[in-house]
A and B are shown apart, each in its own frame.
Chain A
Amino acid sequence: MSTETVARPAEPSLHIRVWRLIERSNILTIPLIVLIIVMSLLSDRFFTEVNIYNILRATSIYIIIGVGQAFVMTSRNIDLSVGSMMALVMALVGTYLFNGGAIWIAILMALAVGLGLGLVNGLLVTILGVPALLATLGMLVTYRGLVNEYLYGTTVSRFPEFITYLGQGTVGPVPVPVIIALSVAAIGSLLYHFTRMGRYAVAIGGNEEAATLAGINVRLWKTIFFGFQGLLVGLGALVFLGRLDAAHPTVGVGLELHVIGGVVLGGTLLFGGKGTMWGVVLGMVLIAVLNNGLILAGAGFFIQQVFLGILLVLAVAAQTARHRREMGSSGG
Chain B
Amino acid sequence: MNGKSMATQPAAAEAPRSGTTPVLEVRDISKNFEAVRALDGVSVAVHPGEVLGLVGDNGAGKSTLIKIISGVYQPDEGEILMDGRTLAMSTPHEARERGIETVYQHLALVNQLRVDGNLYLGREPNRFGFLGDLFQILDTPLMKAKTKEVMARLHIRIPGLESEPVHRMSGGQRQAAAIARAVHWGSKLLLLDEPTAALGAEQSAEVQRIIRRTCDSGIPAIVISHNLEHVFQVCDRIVVLRLGRKVLDCRADATSPDEVVAYITGSRGAVGHA
A residues lining the B interface (CB < 8 Å)? 1-8, 10, 191, 194-197, 199, 202-203, 205-207, 209-211, 213-216, 273-274, 326-327, 329-332
Contacts and interface: CB of A to CB of B under 8 A. Distances in A.
B176 interface: yes
B96 A273 contact: no
Contact of B206 (A2, A4, A214, A329): A4
Interface stretch (B12-20, B116-124, B265-273): B116-124
Contact of B155 (A2, A213, A214): A2
Contact of B112 (A1, A6, A7, A274): A274
B111 A207 contact: yes
B225 interface: no
Nearest to A74: B112
**Which of B96, B112, B118, B172 has the most A CB atoms < 10 Å from its CB?**
B112
Contact of A202 (B110, B169, B170, B198): B110
Given A8-B158, A214-B108, A331-B171, 12 more contacts: A4-B157, A5-B159, A6-B172, A195-B136, A199-B138, A202-B113, A210-B107, A210-B108, A330-B111, A330-B169, A331-B169, A331-B173
A224 B199 CA distance: 39
A21 to B, nearest CB: 13
B122 A1 contact: no
B156 interface: yes
Contacts of A326: 167
Nearest to A205: B112
A313 B248 CA distance: 59
B148 interface: no
Nearest to B169: A331
B121 A214 contact: yes
Contacts of B156: 3-4, 6
Given A5-B157, A206-B113, A210-B109, A216 B167 contact: no
A23 to B, nearest CB: 11
Contact of A216 (B113, B122, B176): B122
Given A195-B138, A210-B121, A274-B112, A332 B107 contact: yes
B176 A6 contact: yes
* In the A-B complex, the 5 residue pairs with the closest CB atoms: A214-B122, A332-B171, A196-B136, A331-B171, A210-B108
A203 B114 CA distance: 11
Contacts of B111: 206-207, 273, 327, 330
Contact of B110 (A197, A207, A330, A332): A207
A7 B170 contact: yes
A215 B202 contact: no
Interface in B167-219: 167-176, 198-199, 202-203, 206, 209
**Which of A4, A216, A329 has the most B CB atoms < 10 Å from its CB?**
A4
16 contacts: A1-B155, A4-B156, A4-B209, A5-B157, A5-B159, A6-B157, A194-B138, A196-B126, A197-B136, A199-B113, A210-B118, A211-B110, A213-B108, A215-B122, A331-B172, A331-B173
A191 B122 CA distance: 17
A211 B121 contact: yes
A3 to B, nearest CB: 5
